[in-house]
Chain A
Amino acid sequence: MTIEKTPVRDFATDFDHTDPAWVADPYPIWEELRERCPVAHTERYGGAWFPATHAGVTQIAKDTENFTSRTVIMNDGRPDELALPSPIGVAPPITSDPPFHQIARKLILPAFSPGAINPLEPQVRALCRSLLERGSGHDVVEASWDYARLIPPSVIRQMLGFPEADTDVFIDIVHTVTESVDLPMDERIAAFEPIEEYFVRQIEDHQANPRDDLTTFLLNAEIDGQKLAVEHVFGTMILILVAGIDTTWSAIGSSLWHLAQNPSDLERLVNEPDLMPVAIEEFLRFYAPVTMARLVKHDMEYLGVPMKEYDWILLGFPAANRDPAAFVDADRFIIDRAENRHVAFGLGIHRCAGSNLARLELRVALEEFIARYPRFSLADPDQVTWSQGQIRGPRRLPIRVG
């Protein structure tokens, strides 16, 4: 369902991250806000603030005294009426606050540490190659829908230990979840039903047949000698889907979109493979896909503006990454940028737990695409479409490879 909204005339006083102008090209908007505000406001969503500077984003990201993460997707539901479970939140640990947050986070970090993630490289590479093989013989390939989109869910399915035969079903379910996050709460709940049924079946299967995977790990995990609440296991599985799928899809897609239009950058990556890790960080800075949200805990004057209890904060890590106060030539993509303290994975205690996996998938997806197609370009710029909401990336990306 699409909700008809009034177009935004002034982003400083009436911003909306789902406005077509913001969806199409948010960067000039953020630049203007940095100069004019720098904290934009809107009455939409029941009241929200958008700090457009690196300093403002940093301060709020690290401030768990004045802001809560109980819900991280800005929507029309009034936060004070959501009755979110405390202290777990709907998707721990991203929706948890201290001190419970640290407990929930420490549980899952080992599964996403470099030691656990690095060994996945051969299978990610094999997956990318098999997806690229499908485009064999075509002059134009759909680099987002038929390539980038399919990489993260396959890896997550494998980590959770769900049957390989379910890959297509799983990808469908995942889309329902990730696309529903911007819907009103009652529609979101309805959209979650298929995934709930699927997860319950998988959880029962893992209880009957424990094996070495993330689902079994969560089922066996304990806090203070107690197994996790079912809601906790379920919530963490939902988090892994919502946070681990269209985020990385977006990062891969944006990077390919860039390379398709910047042949000199593509040529450098083809000729200097060792440049890839540095380039990855610049892709992440320049095209950071993820914006988070926070809720204001109580009325206060903060960053020079009067915030009210339960106002939303739209926490724009992508905007922070373009702030000239924090980066030299912030609006230039510099493929070999040596000093790059970008905040694409967030800052502070909620740093993206899957960042090592995201980097691995992004790097291997680009390496394999470039190995197969050392030269490519946009087939038709008018056919490129971008996602709407807090995760930004191309959803349709026809690329000419022949």
Chain B
Amino acid sequence: MRVVIDADLCQGQGRCFSIAPSVFGFDELGNGVVLTSGELGESDLELARLAEANCPEHAVGVVE
């Protein structure tokens, strides 16, 4: 499992990098960026799923 942020949908709401700072960071505009390119560990995966469930723009996805 890995995480993606749809840059077209992201508006910098800031929920992902607050909830899962080990998985998401932010760019100079404050938009979310994915920090890890590989497979997520169990605890990071749980946080990433929580970030997905809290993104008001539905920009965060956890995918196969």
Interface of A toward B, CB cutoff 8 Å: 106, 109-110, 112-115, 277, 281, 338-343, 345, 347-349, 351, 355-356, 359
Contacts and interface: CB of A to CB of B under 8 A. Distances in A.
A110 B26 CA distance: 11
B41 to A, nearest CB: 20
The 9 closest A-B pairs by CB, nearest first: A113-B30, A351-B11, A109-B29, A339-B53, A341-B56, A110-B28, A114-B26, A343-B56, A109-B30
Nearest to A277: B18
A340 B56 CA distance: 8
Contacts of B28: 109-110, 113, 115
B61 interface: no
B50 A338 contact: yes
Interface string B6-21: 0000011111011000
Nearest to A278: B19
B40 interface: no
Given A114-B17, A115-B26, A115-B28, A109 B12 contact: yes
Contact of B56 (A112, A277, A347, A356): A347
A351 B29 contact: no
B19 to A, nearest CB: 8
B55 interface: yes
A114 to B, nearest CB: 5
Contacts of B22: none
B38 to A, nearest CB: 24
B54 to A, nearest CB: 6
B50 to A, nearest CB: 7
B39 interface: no
A54 B55 CA distance: 15
Given A109-B29, A113-B29, A339 B54 contact: yes
A315 B14 CA distance: 22
Given A109-B30, A110-B29, A359 B54 contact: no
Interface in B26-58: 26-30, 50, 53-58
Given A110-B29, A113-B26, A113-B30, A355 B57 contact: no
Contacts of A109: 12, 28-30
A281 to B, nearest CB: 7
A341 B11 contact: no
8 contacts: A113-B29, A113-B30, A114-B17, A338-B53, A341-B56, A342-B56, A355-B12, A359-B14
A339 B53 CA distance: 6
Contacts of A277: 18
A351 B57 CA distance: 10
A359 B50 CA distance: 19
A355 B14 contact: yes
A341 B29 contact: no
A341 B12 contact: no
A338 B50 CA distance: 8
B16 to A, nearest CB: 12
B14 A341 contact: no
Of listed B15, B29, B50, B55, residue having the most chain A CB within 10 A: B29
Given A112-B30, A113-B26, 6 more contacts: A113-B28, A340-B54, A343-B56, A347-B11, A348-B57, A359-B18
A106 B31 CA distance: 11
A122 B16 CA distance: 24
B27 to A, nearest CB: 8
B28 to A, nearest CB: 5
Contacts of A355: 12-14
Contacts of B58: 341
